[in-house]
Amino acid sequence: MSKCNSSRPANVLSLKQKKQTGNRISMVTCYDAWSAKILNESPVDCILVGDSLAVVMHGFESTVHATVEMMTLHTAAVARGAPDKFIVADMPFLTCSRGIDVAMDAVRSLMQAGANAVKIEGADHQLPVIKQIVEAGVPVMGHLGLTPQSIHNLGGHRVQGRDEASTQKILEDAVKLEEAGCFAIVLECVPNKLGDCLTRRVQMPTIGIGAGPYTDGQVLVLHDLLGTDPGFSPKFLRRYANVHDVISHAMDTYHNDVTDQSFPSLEETYG
Ligand code: KIV
Q: Whose CA is nearest to atom 2 of ligand 1?
A: 50
Label residues 76-106 b or e (16+ Cβ within 10 Å = b).
bbbbebbeebbbbbbbbbebbeeeeeebbeb
Give the whole-number percent of the chain exceeding pLDDT 70.
97
Strand partners, 186: 143, 207
Where in the sequence is the domain holding 255, given as residue range(s)?
A: 245-271
Q: What is the pLDDT of residue 8?
A: 76
Domain match, 208 and 255 both: no
What total number of domains does the chain contain? 2
Least confident of 6-20, 57-71, 212-226: 6-20
**Ligand 1 near 47 CB (within 6 A):** no
Domain match, 258 and 220 both: no
188 in catalytic set: yes
Domain match, 263 and 204 both: no
- Give the tens place of pLDDT for each residue, 87-136: 999 999 999 999 999 999 999 999 999 999 999 999 999 999 999 999 99
Domain match, 143 and 258 both: no
Planar angle of CA 238, 178, 115, nearest 5 degrees: 60
CA of 238 to the centre of ligand 1 (A): 16
**Ligand 1 near 56 CB (within 6 A):** no
Domain match, 168 and 121 both: yes
Alpha-carbon distance of 270 to 261, in angstroms, equals: 17
- Give the tens place of pLDDT for each residue, 83-96: 999 999 999 999 99
pTM exceeds cut of 0.85: yes
Domain match, 20 and 123 both: yes
Which of 46, 58, 63 has the most ligand 1 atoms within 8 A of CB, as the residue to mutate? 63
Domain match, 16 and 89 both: yes
Task: Kindly tell me if the per-residue pLDDT of 1 is higher than 50.
Answer: no
Return left, alpha or beta for 114; rule: phi > 0 is left, psi -120 to 50 is alpha, else beta: left
**Ligand 1 near 219 CB (within 6 A):** yes
Q: What is the mean pLDDT of residues 150-155?
A: 93
> Do residues 107 and 133 lie in contact, with contact meaning Cβ atoms separated by under 8 Å?
yes
**Ligand 1 near 29 CB (within 6 A):** yes
Domain match, 235 and 249 both: no
Task: Kindly tell me if the per-residue pLDDT of 203 is higher than 80.
Answer: yes
Domain match, 126 and 96 both: yes
What average pLDDT does the structure give for the chain?
96
